[in-house]
A and B are shown apart, each in its own frame.
Chain A
Amino acid sequence: MTCSDLQKQIDNLILNGERILIADLHEVSYVSSAGLRVFINTLKQLKKVGGDILLYNASPQTQEIFTLSGLLQVFRLFANREGILAAIRGEKPAPSLLSKEIRGISIQYVERQVSPGTLLPIGSQRKLPLSEYTEQDIVTMKAQDIPFSTGLATIGENFDDYKQFLGESVTINKNFYFYPAVKRPAVDFMLCPQGDSSLEYKFLHGFGFNGSYNYILTFDHPDRLIQLTELISAFFEIAKANMLGIVLLAESKGLWGMHLKNVPILENKPSNGREIFDSTNFAEWVNFPVEASDYNHVVIGVGIAIKDKNAEPPALQELLAKDHPFHLHGAVFAKEALNKNLEQFEQEMNRVMTDLEVYKVQHILGQTRFQNGMAGIIELKG
């Protein structure tokens, strides 16, 4: 096997979510410096995400190469497979971890006793279809009040200055991302330093929520991709509340995302008098996916899901589109492997927001697929 074959196979395993790689070296007569480089790069990549590469069955000659290169202290070489399995068993996470299989999706989770969070509707969607928002419709929200939000929003002081930057937005643990509704948008964002309470967001409509995670979970399907719609219905079999705040962290295996191409304010109102979602205006107004995109990009999704809409007041029912049990916006980051150790969910999310480049913010549709990932769930009251 050449080094590039090995690198390809390892890349595929990591992309598919594997974090502990075990390499049987018994048919390897020697490892060249190029081969070591593959192992070293793999180890560096995996260490960042809480993984490891474990080697066993190395011939004396191969072990000699590791010794000569000073890598015996860096790699974990085992005599046999049993040694590796024993080492992995010794490192299993604490037994407080619960697990459940829901329609083939394997979910592992921790449950925390915390009081429910609060869901806060912001503005109204009523002026959206005809693009009739004006300055009077702007709702100013204090960043400190909504650690999580989803909506059409931006930041700025004067309406005439910021109106052109209104667009799909998401707030992820007080970090605000927005994607101006223009022809060639680029994401702008504001990472909120801890303790900075003066920041304000300008919303046309949307919602925010606060609270602590009642559940942090990992999900995985060994055999096929999971659609967002079925993932969210599985969440309802873990959490008990009728309304859930969802914070999702996963690598996309096909994103279906949409966003507005114009700001729905009065001066942009369609001249034919029809709704922006009408077939005559749709293409001009909405960037709607015709196929999945953004494979293997890291996505952080924030939004809400409601199990029984009729049990909630109309103001909350309105937050979800007709026949849709959830409303999520997602920030799409660079391609990178994620650490899926659920104890490090928040740390990993912070790492993504601080280290990775962000490409867009979109409304995420239910066909969006994942292989595995993590989520934090906050049970909400109105």
Chain B
Amino acid sequence: MNQQGVFPAVTEILPDIAELVTAAARSCGMIDAHVAQLELAVDEACTNIIQYAYAGRDGGKIEILCEDDREDFLVAIRDNGVPFDQTQPTEPDLDSPIEERQIGGLGRFFMRKCVDDLTYLRENDHNVLILRKRIR
């Protein structure tokens, strides 16, 4: 089974995207702990798209497509912002004292920790990011 939706690229819509993804993941039997991790990864990916791929540009859209192949659950996130590969690793600062710490790169770091595989494609002027997470 698959589920999909198209959303305006604004942060206010993040809860709606989360609802679509978590409902789809639960309906294929994913355990709660994995659902929460997937939800976080999708949130980070979409936040980055809004902030960087669209960089404040109005009218952008985010398409979400959820699929499962029994063992894995896949979320494809599509946008037509500037080319933006979120699978490139970042090195967030995890050790400095709080007063000095620069917050950046934490989102991508979380994404990599929370899903089993990340794939990026650029096709027809669109970014496509595929998150793969084991169901059990």
Cβ A74 vs Cβ B98 within 8 A: yes
List A contacts of B107 (CB < 8 A).
32-34
Check if B63 is an interface residue, CB within 8 A of chain A: no
CB closest residue in chain B, given A61: B36
List A contacts of B11 (CB < 8 A).
2-4, 34
Contact partner, B44, options A33, A44, A59, Cβ 8 Å: A33
List B contacts of A60 (CB < 8 A).
33
> Can you list, as one digit per residue, whether each of A220-240 has a CB less than 8 Å from chain B (1) or not (0)?
000000000000000000000
Contact partner, B106, options A3, A33, A44, Cβ 8 Å: A33
List B contacts of A34 (CB < 8 A).
11, 43, 47, 107
Give Cα A43 to B62, complex, Å.
33
List B contacts of A68 (CB < 8 A).
109-110, 113
Give Cα A32 to B14, complex, Å.
11
CB closest residue in chain B, given A48: B99
Check if A286 is an interface residue, CB within 8 A of chain B: no
How many residues of A are counted as interface, with CB atoms below 8 angstroms from the partner's CB atoms?
Answer: 25
Cβ B43 vs Cβ A2 within 8 A: no
Cβ A70 vs Cβ B110 within 8 A: no
Give Cα A182 to B64, complex, Å.
62
Q: A44-B98, A70-B94 are in contact. Are A32 and B113 (CB under 8 A)?
A: no
Check if B12 is an interface residue, CB within 8 A of chain A: yes
Check if B40 is an interface residue, CB within 8 A of chain A: yes
Check if B95 is an interface residue, CB within 8 A of chain A: yes
List A contacts of B39 (CB < 8 A).
29-30
Give Cα A252 to B106, complex, Å.
38
How many residues of B are counted as interface, with CB atoms below 8 angstroms from the partner's CB atoms?
Answer: 26
Check if A36 is an interface residue, CB within 8 A of chain B: yes
Cβ A32 vs Cβ B33 within 8 A: no
Counting chain A CB atoms within 10 Å of each CB, the highest count among B14, B92, B103, B113 belongs to B103
List A contacts of B40 (CB < 8 A).
30-32, 61, 65
> Can you list, as one digit per residue, whether each of A33-62 has a CB less than 8 Å from chain B (1) or not (0)?
110110010011001000000000001111
List A contacts of B56 (CB < 8 A).
none
Q: A60-B33, A61-B36, A68-B110 are in contact. Are A32 and B44 (CB under 8 A)?
A: yes
Q: A36-B106, A43-B98 are in contact. Are A2 and B36 (CB under 8 A)?
A: no
Q: How far is the CB of B93 from chain A (nearest CB, A)?
A: 8
Q: How far is the CB of A10 from chain B (nearest CB, A)?
A: 16
List B contacts of A2 (CB < 8 A).
11-12, 14-15
> Can you list, as one digit per residue, whether each of A128-172 has a CB less than 8 Å from chain B (1) or not (0)?
000000000000000000000000000000000000000000000
Check if A69 is an interface residue, CB within 8 A of chain B: yes
> Can you list, as one digit per residue, whether each of B56-97 has a CB less than 8 Å from chain A (1) or not (0)?
000000000000000000000000000000000000101100
Check if B136 is an interface residue, CB within 8 A of chain A: no
Q: How far is the CB of B49 from chain A (nearest CB, A)?
A: 13
Interface residues of B (CB under 8 A from A): 11-12, 14-15, 22, 33, 35-37, 39-40, 43-44, 47, 92, 94-95, 98-99, 101, 103, 106-107, 109-110, 113
Pick 23 A–B contacts, CB within 8 A, sort by A: A2-B11, A2-B12, A2-B14, A30-B37, A30-B40, A30-B43, A32-B40, A32-B44, A32-B47, A32-B107, A34-B43, A34-B107, A36-B103, A36-B106, A40-B103, A44-B98, A60-B33, A61-B36, A61-B37, A62-B36, A68-B109, A68-B110, A69-B110
Q: What 10 pairs between A and B have smallest CB-CB spacing? A: A70-B94, A61-B36, A33-B107, A33-B106, A30-B40, A32-B43, A29-B36, A30-B36, A74-B98, A37-B103
Interface residues of A (CB under 8 A from B): 1-4, 29-34, 36-37, 40, 43-44, 47, 59-62, 65, 68-70, 74
